[in-house]
């Protein structure tokens, strides 16, 4: 999915290199996923940089699931990985 998504994209070849400006188009979330993401940001007090990491990981989880949109389950998994990193 990433190869197709980034075909012709200059300097971006994987989800890890998605810029903040690309989030709106490449990391579309379902409403429930967005709500969970906002709650997680508040409860974990994550930095702006960490928010970007969570979104990129959620995009990758969604890709592995074959989903064009990021769902609540994808965000939950990405946040779970974040929790492990911060310990």
The count of domains in the chain is: 1
Write a three-state SS string for 4-49.
HHCCCCCCCCCHHHCCHHHHHHHCCECHHHHHHHHHHHHHHCCCHH
How far is 79 from 45, CA to CA, in rounded Å?
12
Q: What is the pTM of this model?
A: 0.88
- Structural domain containing residue 70: 2-85
Residue 86's Cβ-count burial label (10 Å; 0-12, 13-18, 19+) is exposed
What CATH number is associated with residue 27? 1.10.8
How far is 43 from 71, CA to CA, in rounded Å?
19
pLDDT tens-digit profile of 9-65? 778 899 999 988 889 989 999 999 999 999 999 998 888 889 999 999 999 999 999
């Amino acid at each position: 999915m990433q190869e197709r998504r980034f075909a012709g994209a200059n300097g971006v070849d994987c989800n890890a290199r998605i810029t903040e400006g690309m989030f709106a188009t490449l990391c579309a979330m379902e409403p429930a996923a967005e709500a969970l993401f906002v709650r997680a940001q508040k409860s974990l007090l994550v930095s702006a940089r960490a928010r970007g990491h969570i979104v990129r990981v959620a995009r990758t989880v969604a890709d592995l699931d074959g989903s064009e949109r990021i769902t609540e389950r994808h965000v939950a998994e990405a946040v779970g990985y974040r929790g492990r990193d911060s310990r």
